[in-house]
Structure 1
């Protein structure tokens, strides 16, 4: 029985977690700044980070689909198990949808995404102000939904550790011993 995630899964999990915190904080910070060269630079950085996270999330999802996750504790009932699995797939779905919605929004607003200022990425839709506004609302809504889902994810992990006192959290901790 698999008792821990693989080192690759753990590394990608925590790298993506740190990246999500950074890109969310940057997005939240920059949205109300007055238009300036600095704001445009921050938007570029936000897009670079978003595309990078998209690549990492695809890699993490591919790894997850090809490597079994640790078994959930036998003490978890079927509804709780189903909720845990649904929560993980919700997180994956949101982490894929958010950078794609940002890329679509940039395309619709007429701003090409240029990854790291070097690699121009194709516009995914034609310029369309109404679609750009809808995609902006979608992007923001998805981000706040992800924030709530992440809070639930962290809360569940802490509940397992401190209340259930099982090994679920240690499955993903980089420096935890064998569970």
Structure 2
């Protein structure tokens, strides 16, 4: 078994992470704006990023199912391995479900999702204000849940790198392996 993730897995991981890191603060900013062309444009960018995350998540899940990840170090105790697996499963689930809840919310609120302004996605549900408001709450809760999990994920990776001094982080961060 390989001692690091494949180039494709690393690329997908960081593309999805970059989009999430950009989309979360964008959402916080845009929701506070008054209705304007800027707000509508930022909502479109947010939806585009969400749909790209969804598409990349599908590719990432396919890649993960068809390519075994590197084994966890023997230095990790059983509970750490179980926690790491649970964390990864939760993050995979969220990178898939969060864009879907956004898409559902947009449909229920009567705002179409049109990727790059040219590729319309079908409405997933009919217009329904109450459902749209509920889906907005679900979307927000899931995003804050992801934020917490991402913070824990990053903290665990840094703990492994700086305290445990194992190769966990090096398996996913390309520049850490240069010269190794």
TM interval, shorter chain, is: over 0.9
Task: Map Cα deviations across residues 87-142 of structure 1 (whole Å, 9 max, x no partner).
Answer: 00100111111100000000000111111110111000111000000000001100
The structural deviation recorded for 1:2 is 1.5
Q: Is the 8 A contact 1:72 1:168 kept in 2?
A: yes
Distance (whole Å) between structure 2 residues aligned to residue 136 and residue 176 of structure 1: 39
Secondary structure of 2:34's match? coil
In structure 1, the partner of 2:155 is 155
Query: Does the Cα contact within 8 Å between 1:10 and 1:173 map onto a contact in 2?
Result: yes
Runs of 4+ with deviation above 2 angstroms: 175-179
Between the aligned partners of 1:160 and 1:177, the Cα distance in structure 2 is 15
Aligned to 1:16: 16
Separation in structure 2 between the aligned mates of residue 168 and residue 21 of structure 1, nearest angstrom: 21
Q: Structure 1 CA distance, aligned partners of 2:141 and 2:158?
A: 26
Q: Structure 1-normalised TM-score? A: 0.97
Higher relative contact order (CA 8 A, sep 6+): 1
- Per-residue Cα deviation, 1:126-162 (whole angstroms, up to 9, x for no partner): 1100000000000110000000000000000001011
Shift of 1:19: 0.8
Aligned to 1:127: 127
CA distance in 1: counterparts of 2:25 and 2:60, whole angstroms = 22
Alignment partner, residue 87 of structure 1 = 87
> How far apart, in 2, do the equivalents of 1:174 and 1:95 lie?
22
- Aligned pair count? 179
CA drift of 1:177 comes to: 2.8
- Secondary structure at the counterpart of residue 35 of structure 1: coil
Which runs of structure 2 are paired with 1:1-179 in the superposition (5 Å)?
Answer: 1-177=1-177
1:176 deviation in Å?
Answer: 3.2
Unaligned runs of 5+ in 2: none
Query: What are structure 1's unaligned runs of at least 5 residues?
Result: none
